[in-house]
Amino acid sequence: MTTLEGPPMTDRPRIAPDLLAALLEAAPARVRRKLDAAPRTAEEWPWSCGDGTWTVAAGGETVTLTGTDLTEPGHVACTCLLGPRCLHLLAVAGLLDAVEDDGPVPETSSTPPASASTDPLTEVVEVDPAGRAAARAAWDAAARILAAGVRSAGSGPRAELLRASALARAAHLPRLSAACVAVAAGPRDHPTPAFDLSAYVADLTDLLDLSLRLGGGPAGDRPPPTRADVGVARRAYGEVGSLRLYGLGGERVVTASGYAGVVTHLVSVSDGAPRLWRVADVAPGDADRVTVAHGSRVSFGGIALSHRDLGRGALIAQRAGASADGRLSGTSATTAATIDPIPWDEGPLAALWERPLADQVADALAALAAPTRRSGSDLVFAGFSVVGPHPEGVEVVETREGRPHVLVADGPRDPLRARNLARIGLDRGTVLRVMARPVPERPGRLIPLTVSGLTGLPDTRRGRLDVSLDTLKWADPVPAAPTTAPAPLPVPSPRAEAALARVLSRFAEAGRETVSVDTAAIARLRAHHLPTGADLLTAVIAAARERVRTVTGESVVPSPDGAAVAWLAASTYLNAVRARLHALAWAG
């Protein structure tokens, strides 16, 4: 049996949104007020696990959670006389993450075979009445929590969002369901250091935009929903026929929400055009799970390859299954057999390195700015010559155009990649081929996934290093100081749009009542040639401060729809401006 006090465990049970919503709605108002005052009280209680059952010592009472996925009322219990409508059970259940959307998927959501020139995510879809009802419920809940502000939102608005998530899940709208759950975590996390206001604003923008596209919000014209808006459930796989797949490499995944594992990237070639795919093993867990997943067997067509070997191998798959966004999965009819792999600079793999890096980066930045993207659309492939160590990683020069870049780690939770880069930086003059991902807000910075061209690698690695998964067999060096100052890299211009971002963030955190006229911000936007931003900010302020007269002459706050529409328009514009600034900075 394991026992824990303090931070949440990544292997705690997960709760269905509709069950948590029902528990919150059934609780007496006085209990909900206590929960709203301290939504993370249960963090301080001892949690114990044994034989698939969790028990939480809540003072003199005990909360019991049965199973890994809590979907029915019988899965949660408390010894309290008020249970299950007691504070003990609600405090415990409120800390749990939501059950993933992995239920059955209707036939219409299978992925049809597609050529490399088509993108199934752009296919226009029809939303049925149940889906439109879920979208309306999601919009109403999101508009109300925006109007009140996450700081004041409590268990009531959270229950509305969770109920909308359950409706979306039942209507086979996995992306809308997940968006509701993401925003619903805001009221719970706001009093803690775990809350990130910028991430919450992004989640709220995504939820409002998505629910509007799917049929929520006020009447009016809206773009037709696509498969990207619907999302891809975990089991939404359709047959894509036969594929000749070549492994490109893998990367570690460790998320703040408690998931960890490995993603392996592959490429197939059809009609002369390369098409990228991925095979993932990501599940609840911490960083220790990455090593296990890297060496575990891939469940795909009966092959006996680990993720480590698949990233360097090759295979032929018959009747392969795939999702619309490029995730591969073996169906009951899938068969696969290994074939001889090829180097990166030969045959169909060499085509990935033929496009100019600037064009690849532009496409990758656009993909990273989109809420949904196809596998591999955010990756770039380029050749670099190592200049030497850099304070952020490794300074390199692009071999075709001679432009400087820096290979960097993905933040402080990426120590292995940082150590490997420190060692690579000592091999000045080495010419590398790199599969990487650009960092939008840091021009010239690339996060390398896999590199080839290093000397001294074991034969089993076939000349490649998965930078976040493999360890270079040399002693960890002390990075040498650069012999010359690194070449200056382009940086974004002063953030003129920051004035708009501050108002939108204040609105989302504290509600419409805190928004005041900000003539200085409006003037700054116009002075920096962002007149549309100034107009949208003016509209947001007007909508937040709007009052209407009742038949008796009283001044009251109107429906939150108008303010939500104005806020969404301004937030969407802000994201577009930032994406454009990032693209311009990368282009130099």
H or E segment to which residue 48 belongs:
strand 47-50
Q: Do 133 and 55 fall into the same domain? A: no
Q: Do 208 and 284 fall into the same domain? A: no
Please give the pLDDT value at position 272.
67
Q: Do 381 and 447 fall into the same domain? A: yes
Q: Quick check: is 101 in a domain?
A: no
Please give the pLDDT value at position 115.
43
Task: Tell me the per-residue pLDDT of 247-298, one tens digit each, with 9 for 90 and over.
Answer: 999 999 988 767 889 999 999 987 667 889 999 888 878 888 998 889 888 8
Residue where a domain terminates, one of 168, 195, 230: 230
pLDDT at 490 over 80: no
* Strand blocks (E) in 424-527: 431-438, 445-452, 464-466
Q: Mean pLDDT over residues 456-470, rounded?
A: 87
d(CA 227, CA 222): 15
pLDDT at 491 over 50: no
Residue 50's SS3 state is: strand
Q: Do 269 and 336 fall into the same domain? A: yes
Long-range CB contacts for residues 541-544, cutoff 8 Å, separation at least 24: 541/503, 541/515, 541/516, 541/517, 542/566, 543/512, 543/567, 544/507, 544/512, 544/513, 544/515
Task: Tell me the per-residue pLDDT of 45-89, one tens digit each, with 9 for 90 and over.
Answer: 999 988 889 999 988 899 999 988 899 999 999 998 888 889 999
Q: Do 404 and 305 fall into the same domain? A: no
Q: Quick check: is 345 in a domain?
A: no
Residue 266's SS3 state is: strand
pLDDT at 220 over 50: yes
Q: Quick check: is 408 in a domain?
A: yes
Q: Mean pLDDT over residues 318-346, rounded?
A: 84
Q: Do 9 and 87 fall into the same domain? A: yes
Q: Do 123 and 224 fall into the same domain? A: yes
Q: Do 527 and 563 fall into the same domain? A: yes
Please give the pLDDT value at position 89.
93
Q: Are 138 and 568 in contact (CB under 8 A)?
A: no
pLDDT at 531 over 70: yes
The count of structural domains within the chain is 5
Q: Quick check: is 119 in a domain?
A: yes
H or E segment to which residue 78 belongs:
strand 76-78
Higher-pLDDT residue of 479, 167: 167
Q: CATH number, domain at 453?
A: 2.40.50.140
- With a pLDDT cut of 90, the percent of the chain lying above it is 47
Q: Quick check: is 292 in a domain?
A: yes
Q: Do 278 and 314 fall into the same domain? A: yes
Please give the pLDDT value at position 118.
61
Question: Which segment, 141-145, 297-301, 412-416, is predicted with the most confidence on average?
Answer: 141-145
- Chain CA centroid to CA 330, Å: 24
d(CA 263, CA 267): 13
pLDDT at 139 over 90: yes
Task: Tell me the per-residue pLDDT of 192-217, one tens digit each, with 9 for 90 and over.
Answer: 887 899 999 999 999 999 999 999 99
Q: Does the predicted TM-score (pTM) go above 0.85?
A: no
Q: Do 306 and 336 fall into the same domain? A: yes
Q: Quick check: is 25 in a domain?
A: no
Q: Do 156 and 198 fall into the same domain? A: yes
Higher-pLDDT residue of 219, 483: 219
Instruction: Give me the domain span that covers residue 44.
Output: 2-14+40-94
Q: Quick check: is 509 in a domain?
A: yes
Q: CATH number, domain at 310?
A: 2.40.50
pLDDT at 493 over 60: no
Q: Which of 264, 254, 307, 306 is nearest to 285 (CA)?
A: 254
